[in-house]
């Protein structure tokens, strides 16, 4: 007598991860507490926390600014190219396990220059890890310089000129940090300069700021993608327009919960955004701070909203189609996604 294999037995191949692109990721937001302590020790830096538990106890946020205060403070441990490269490789290794096949990664050059770290040290450290990413982790990458909107446009323009002068391997620019009170209209010349230099354009808008900041990011800055954008849902005309134009929105559900933009994941507007026909994708933002990587975001969406194959395919497809990768890689990744869907049927 023979027995058939038990479904789900341990020798069954693990289902492949959903192949996806991650388009909203701050590399400094991937700095895990363990790495913060390791880098502090390597660089002889005294941390204001006695141990990991004391640092972890700080990861309770009431709004965007309460997070930003810790995020900028923790960057103090990043001093050398090796530090930036180690942080970047740790993200790529974890992202590969999450099924990320392409990543467009923001970094905050001004936050490092302001601490006395040379621009080249920060850029070269991140860029060296990204250069090896496809061979090492199977993840194609692009680097985006994000500018701190609570600083002046002059500061942003001078760092952008320095980046252009050193031929930094960036594909585009973004706008992040404290949103309310720092509207897109403050950065029109910065975006005009970046556009003239042939860079791709994105900006955070409608995370804590109003829907009008989303409109202004599109109309005044000419951005090709909106980071977050969840508050666009407060303006029905804007939703219709963004649905018609299929403007990509890089949504970060766990970030929105942890920064109290929404009360709980069940209150998140993502299902309504999908129902409105918006071009949304799922991202982790600052995974070391917000309780998980992009796969964790997907897992919680599946658990809370019952997302199945159709939603997962649409969200991952949007991420790949909304990326700035070339046609050949895009086609290959969409084929991988189609294969993932077929294998699940």
Minimal distance, residue 146 CB to ligand HPA, in Å: 7
Decide which of ligand HPA, Zn ion, none touches 207; Cβ closer than 5 to 8 Å per partner kind.
Answer: ligand HPA
Minimal distance, residue 152 CB to ligand HPA, in Å: 17
Minimal distance, residue 168 CB to ligand HPA, in Å: 19
Considering only residues 20, 21, 23, 26, which one is a binding residue for ligand HPA as defined by CB under 6 A?
26
Task: Say how many residues touch ligand HPA, by CB under 6 A.
Answer: 11
| Complex with ligand HPA: residue 31 or 337, whichever CB lies closer | 31
Closest CA to 157 of 167, 148, 144, 169: 148
User: Kindly report the CA angle at 126 between 120 and 127, in degrees rounded to 5?
Assistant: 80
Contact 283/3 with Cβ under 8 angstroms?
no
The span from the CA of 9 to the CA of 110, in Å, is 51
The span from the CA of 152 to the CA of 136, in Å, is 38
Q: What are phi and psi of 48, to 5 degrees?
A: -80, 20
Q: Write out the two tokens for 327.
A: 């046609």
| Complex with ligand HPA: residue 110 or 279, whichever CB lies closer | 110
Minimal distance, residue 178 CB to ligand HPA, in Å: 7
| Complex with ligand HPA: residue 86 or 207, whichever CB lies closer | 207
**Secondary structure letter of residue 261 according to DSSP:** S
Rule CB under 5 A: is residue 285 a binding residue for Zn ion?
yes
Q: Write out the two tokens for 188.
A: 């029109």
Rule CB under 6 A: is residue 64 a binding residue for ligand HPA?
yes
Minimal distance, residue 299 CB to ligand HPA, in Å: 20
Task: Tell me the pairing of strands 172-176 and 200-205.
Answer: parallel
Rule CB under 6 A: is residue 186 a binding residue for ligand HPA?
no
Name 20's bridge partners: 100
Decide which of ligand HPA, Zn ion, none touches 64; Cβ closer than 5 to 8 Å per partner kind.
Answer: ligand HPA
Minimal distance, residue 108 CB to ligand HPA, in Å: 7
Q: Write out the two tokens for 201.
A: 């354009």
Closest CA to 15 of 276, 343, 345: 343
Q: Write out the two tokens for 218.
A: 């599109």
Rule CB under 6 A: is residue 253 a binding residue for ligand HPA?
no
Considering only residues 207, 295, 311, 336, which one is a binding residue for ligand HPA as defined by CB under 6 A?
207
Choose, from 207, 208, 311, 336, the residue flagged as catalytic. Answer: 207
Closest CA to 27 of 97, 98, 120, 90: 90
Minimal distance, residue 288 CB to Zn ion, in Å: 13
Decide which of ligand HPA, Zn ion, none touches 177; Cβ closer than 5 to 8 Å per partner kind.
Answer: ligand HPA
Contact 253/282 with Cβ under 8 angstroms?
yes
Rule CB under 6 A: is residue 286 a binding residue for ligand HPA?
yes
Closest CA to 224 of 344, 144, 337: 144
Decide which of Zn ion, ligand HPA, none touches 29; Cβ closer than 5 to 8 Å per partner kind.
Answer: ligand HPA
Q: What are phi and psi of 101, to 5 degrees?
A: -110, -15
| Complex with ligand HPA: residue 261 or 316, whichever CB lies closer | 261
The dihedral built from the CA positions of residue 114, 184, 176 and 222, taken in this order, carries a sign that is: negative
Annotated catalytic residue 161: no
Rg (CA), the chain: 20
Considering only residues 88, 133, 250, 255, which one is a binding residue for ligand HPA as defined by CB under 6 A?
255
Please report, as ranges, the residues that interact with ligand HPA according to CB under 6 A.
Answer: 26, 29, 64, 71, 176-177, 204, 207, 255, 285-286
Q: Which of the residues are catalytic? A: 207
Please report, as ranges, the residues that interact with Zn ion according to CB under 5 A.
Answer: 285
């Amino acid at each position: 007598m023979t027995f058939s294999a038990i479904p789900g037995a341990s020798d069954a191949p693990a289902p492949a991860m959903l192949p996806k692109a991650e388009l909203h990721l701050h590399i400094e937001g991937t700095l895990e507490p363990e790495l913060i302590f390791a880098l502090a020790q390597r660089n002889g830096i005294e941390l204001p926390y006695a141990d990991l538990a004391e640092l972890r106890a700080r990861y309770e946020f009431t709004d965007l600014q309460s997070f930003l205060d810790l995020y900028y403070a923790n960057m103090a441990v990043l001093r050398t190219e090796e530090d930036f490269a180690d942080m970047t490789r740790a993200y790529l290794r974890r992202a590969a396990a999450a099924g990320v096949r392409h990543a467009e990664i923001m970094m905050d050059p001004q936050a490092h220059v302001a601490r006395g770290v040379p621009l080249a040290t920060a850029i070269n450290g991140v860029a060296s890890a990204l250069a090896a990413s496809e061979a090492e982790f199977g993840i194609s990458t692009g680097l985006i310089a994000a500018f701190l909107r609570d600083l002046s446009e002059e500061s942003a323009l001078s760092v952008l000129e320095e980046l252009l002068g050193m031929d930094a391997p960036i594909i585009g620019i973004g706008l992040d940090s404290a949103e309310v009170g720092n509207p897109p209209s403050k950065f029109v010349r910065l975006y005009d300069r970046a556009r003239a230099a042939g860079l791709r354009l994105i900006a955070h808008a409608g995370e804590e700021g109003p829907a009008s900041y989303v409109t202004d990011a599109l109309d005044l800055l000419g951005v090709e993608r909106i980071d977050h954008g969840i508050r666009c849902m407060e303006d029905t005309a804007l939703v219709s327009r963004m649905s018609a134009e299929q403007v990509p929105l890089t949504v970060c559900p766990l970030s929105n919960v942890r920064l109290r933009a929404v009360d709980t994941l069940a209150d998140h507007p993502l299902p309504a955004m999908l129902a409105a026909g918006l071009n949304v994708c799922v991202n982790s933002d600052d995974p070391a701070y917000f309780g998980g990587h992009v796969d964790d975001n997907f897992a919680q969406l599946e658990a809370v909203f019952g997302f199945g194959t159709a939603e997962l395919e649409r969200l991952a497809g949007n991420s790949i189609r909304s990326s700035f990768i070339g046609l050949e890689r895009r086609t290959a990744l969409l084929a991988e996604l189609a294969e993932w869907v077929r294998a699940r049927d």
